[in-house]
Amino acid sequence: MIILQAKDLRKVYGSGESEVTALDGVNLSVEKGEFAAIVGTSGSGKSTLLHLLGGLDVPTSGSVIMDMKQLEQLSDDELTIFRRRKIGFIFQQFNLIPMLNVWENIILPLKLDNKRVDQRYIQEIIEILGLEKKCDSLPGQLSGGQQQRVSIARAMAIKPSVILADEPTGNLDSKTSQDVLGILKVTSERYCQTIVMITHNEEIAQMADRIVRIEDGKIVM
């Protein structure tokens, strides 16, 4: 079953002589439970694609369909709610709230949406991620790898339709990167979680089920 689809996506910045085409007719389908890696060099359009897939930006033309909803047809308020409930984001910078402890950071998206916290499910994720002894710690007391594991747990807490990971190991050393990606893969398989990850790192990309390459704003086979 296809859970995420991009149809003929184009994104153009500027106009006239300063016009830049970041994406040029991208088509992509992702199956439920699939772990897909989008690989490209800096300036290839991979970050723009992820932002469009996550409803963080609007395409110049084309469409993004997630969970049978066409994102560009949603109002700003509808899109905000959709993102909060359906998409888990993992960023390179971790984006944890410094004054909240690990547990509070993980359940924050649920609290923002006034949703019940599934304690057993959250505890299970925490144990898989090896964070059970860190629940009362503040982000500043954690290593980079531990902080990224907290952001993975936070992304999974809402049981999203899709997790979008933007260079999730960009701030980590190579061993920690392998560890974090291994954990991400295990949790995705366990919960049949769909993941789309962008990276410039070929070694990291090999851990995905499928590698999609992007160059000059186009998918290349």
pTM of the model: 0.91
Task: Output the average pLDDT for the chain.
Answer: 91
The residue segments making up the domain with residue 25 are: 2-220
Q: What is the per-residue pLDDT for 221?
A: 67
User: 2-27, pLDDT tens digit by residue?
Assistant: 999 999 999 999 888 889 999 999 99
User: 87-141, pLDDT tens digit by residue?
Assistant: 999 988 888 999 999 999 999 999 988 888 899 999 998 988 889 999 999 999 9
Taking residue 2's Cβ as centre, other Cβ atoms within 10 Å add up to 12
E strand or H helix at 146: helix 144-157
- Structural domain total, the chain: 1
Interatomic CA distance for residues 181 and 99, integer angstroms? 27
E strand or H helix at 125: helix 119-128
Q: What is the per-residue pLDDT for 74?
A: 93
User: Is 206 exposed, middle or buried (CB count within 10 Å of its CB: 0-12, 13-18, 19+)?
Assistant: exposed
CATH number of the structural domain spanning residue 38: 3.40.50.300
Which residue has 């893969």 as its token pair?
Answer: 185
Interatomic CA distance for residues 18 and 182, integer angstroms? 42
- Going by pLDDT thresholds of 50, 70 and 90, the confidence category of residue 182 is confident
